[in-house]
């Protein structure tokens, strides 16, 4: 893929991520399907993409009082525990299984979102 397409994918993923809509999923799909990047490597690049998006989004959201730092410690501690468990589990699972798990997660997320939107109407 050329640099422009890669930059465009990063840009689109960042916009979606900053809105809290799962831009990382888009970026991982782009990397694995269009650049033949291995699943684990794509996940690592996604984490790199997420860092600046998260920092800037937290600053903006906090400035607009959309989020409160009152819950920071449960979120941080839960996040750290989740990373430890997730990375430990990931080191024992093949890339093919992780891809299937990711696909199932996306499918279920889409189904639940669709059901929720239909119930609101």
Q: What's the pLDDT score for residue 13?
A: 92
**What is the model's pLDDT at position 10?**
92
Structure confidence at residue 1 (pLDDT): 56
Tell me what pLDDT residue 104 has.
92
Q: Domain locations in the chain?
A: 1-67, 68-121
Report the candidate in 33, 67, 28 with the shortest Cα–Cα distance to residue 49. 28
pTM over 0.75: no
Distance (Å) of CA 74 to CA 53, 60, 94, 121:
21, 21, 31, 34
CA atoms within 13 A on the CB side of 53: 22
Predicted local confidence at residue 20, as pLDDT: 78
Please, are residues 14 and 49 in contact by the beta-carbon 8 Å criterion? Answer: yes
| Per-residue model confidence (pLDDT) at position 43 | 87
Contact assessment for residue 23 and residue 53, using Cβ atoms and an 8 Å cutoff = yes
Give the per-residue pLDDT at 31: 93
DSSP 65: T
Q: What is the pLDDT along the chain (121 residues), one digit of tens a residue?
A: 589 999 999 999 998 888 878 888 889 999 999 998 988 899 889 989 989 988 898 888 889 988 888 888 999 999 999 989 988 988 898 888 988 988 898 899 889 888 988 887 7
**Dist. CA 8–CA 16, nearest whole Å:** 12
């Amino acid at each position: 893929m050329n640099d422009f397409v890669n930059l465009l994918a990063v840009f689109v993923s960042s916009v979606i991520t900053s809105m809290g809509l799962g831009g990382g999923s888009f970026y991982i799909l782009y990397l694995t399907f269009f650049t033949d990047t291995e699943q684990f490597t794509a996940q690592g690049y996604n984490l790199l993409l997420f860092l600046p998006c998260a920092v800037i989004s937290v600053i903006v959201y906090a400035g607009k009082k959309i989020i409160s730092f009152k819950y920071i410690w449960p979120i941080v501690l839960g996040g750290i525990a989740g990373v430890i468990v997730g990375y430990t589990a990931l080191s024992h699972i093949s890339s093919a299984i992780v891809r299937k798990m990711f696909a199932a997660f996306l499918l279920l997320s889409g189904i639940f979102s669709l059901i929720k939107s239909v119930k609101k109407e």
